[in-house]
């Protein structure tokens, strides 16, 4: 049986071996990056595949905020747990669409008591005043419903179906970076490429008019605990 220190030494060796399989300062095509990530990943579980996209925006300025959602063509590979906070007349619609939890006041209280075992929260415009009180809890966890991401809507059934089928939300952080999980390592190579392209293309289309100079500064692909592979963004956006 290995001790914690021995586990740490093994991880360091695996990380070093992974770094030896590619040129850290080189850039790669998206397809090459996916192949490399599959080759260098060393976790025993089905790791997530992540994209980190650094943008040439100042997120402190409202006219340069990049935020939205996208439905990945092959889903995320993750079982998405959906909570719908709605009035009684919408409960059947939410349940029929596959929501894991449906209700209102009881779940609001449950969240206030510390429960956040969910991935997506969907609600209705009419109950947002109640849901707004949860901002300090849901906001930092990226769970706060927002009309811009389609999670504040009267079409709760449609929103649940989209969340379950691979719709993800993204938002640029204070450093100008969008971080998002787009697949599982077990996915076929082409499915990972398709999902990555879908997110990248969506973000490119959302370039704020106020953003000057190079919009996509860098893109890195990685998996859980693996080094990041730098993607040649010029191959993806030749006319930028």
pLDDT of 2 higher than 60:
no
Q: CB of 86 within 8 A of CB of 124? A: yes
**Nearest in space to 55 (alpha carbons), one of 191, 199, 195, 190:** 199
The fold of the 82-165 domain, in CATH, is: Rossmann fold (3.40.50)
Environment class of 67 (CB within 10 Å of its CB; exposed 0-12, middle 13-18, buried 19+): middle
Determine the pLDDT at residue 14. Answer: 59
For residue range 195-212, what is the model confidence (pLDDT) as tens digits? 999 999 999 999 999 998
H-run or E-run covering 220: strand 216-223
Domain 25-75+168-236 CATH assignment equals 3.30.190.20: yes
Determine the pLDDT at residue 1. Answer: 36
| Averaged pLDDT, 15-23 | 61
pLDDT of 6 higher than 50:
no
Q: How confident is the model at residue 234 (pLDDT cuts 50, 70, 90)?
A: confident
Q: pLDDT higher for 199 or 226?
A: 199
**Nearest in space to 56 (alpha carbons), one of 219, 221, 195:** 219
3-state class (DSSP) for residue 1:
coil
Alpha helices, DSSP H, located in the chain: 4-19, 30-40, 91-96, 105-112, 128-131, 135-138, 156-165, 189-205, 233-236
d(CA 130, CA 86): 10
Determine the pLDDT at residue 109. Answer: 97
Q: How confident is the model at residue 235 (pLDDT cuts 50, 70, 90)?
A: confident
**Residue 88: which residues within 8 A CB-CB, separation 6 or more?**
none
Determine the pLDDT at residue 238. Answer: 47
Domain boundaries, the chain: 25-75+168-236, 82-165
For residue range 67-113, what is the model confidence (pLDDT) as tens digits? 998 999 999 998 899 999 999 999 999 999 999 999 999 999 999 99
d(CA 183, CA 180): 9
Tokens of 226: 């693996």
Determine the pLDDT at residue 240. Answer: 45
In this structure, are strands 48-55 and 177-184 parallel, antiparallel, or unpaired? antiparallel
Q: How confident is the model at residue 22 (pLDDT cuts 50, 70, 90)?
A: low
Q: pLDDT higher for 81 or 226?
A: 81
The pTM of the full predicted model, rounded to 2 decimals, is: 0.75
| Averaged pLDDT, 52-58 | 96
For residue range 139-194, what is the model confidence (pLDDT) as tens digits? 999 899 999 889 999 999 999 999 998 889 899 999 999 999 999 999 999 999 99
pLDDT of 123 higher than 50:
yes
H helix and E strand count, the chain: 9, 9
Tokens of 221: 């692909």
């Amino acid at each position: 049986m290995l001790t914690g220190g021995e586990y740490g030494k093994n991880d360091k060796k695996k990380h070093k071996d992974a770094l030896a399989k590619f040129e850290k300062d080189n850039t790669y095509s998206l397809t090459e990056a996916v192949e490399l990530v599959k080759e260098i990943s060393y976790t025993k579980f089905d790791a997530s595949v992540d994209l980190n996209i650094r943008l040439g925006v100042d997120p402190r300025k409202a006219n340069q905020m990049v935020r939205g959602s996208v439905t990945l063509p092959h889903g995320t590979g993750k079982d998405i747990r959906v909570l719908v906070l709605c009035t009684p007349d919408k409960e059947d619609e939410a349940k029929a669409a596959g929501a894991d939890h449906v209700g209102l006041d009881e779940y609001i209280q449950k969240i206030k008591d510390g429960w956040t075992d969910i991935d997506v929260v969907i609600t209705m415009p009419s109950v947002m005043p109640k849901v707004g009180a949860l901002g300090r809890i849901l906001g930092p966890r990226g769970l706060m419903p927002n009309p811009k991401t389609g999670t504040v809507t009267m079409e709760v059934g449609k929103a649940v179906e989209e969340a379950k089928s691979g719709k993800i939300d993204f938002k640029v952080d204070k450093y100008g970076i969008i971080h998002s999980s787009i697949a599982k390592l077990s996915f076929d190579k082409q499915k990972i490429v398709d999902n990555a392209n879908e997110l990248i293309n969506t973000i490119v289309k959302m370039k704020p008019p106020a953003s000057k100079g190079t919009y996509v500064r860098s893109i890195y692909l990685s998996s859980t605990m693996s080094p990041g592979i730098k993607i040649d963004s010029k191959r993806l956006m030749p006319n930028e």
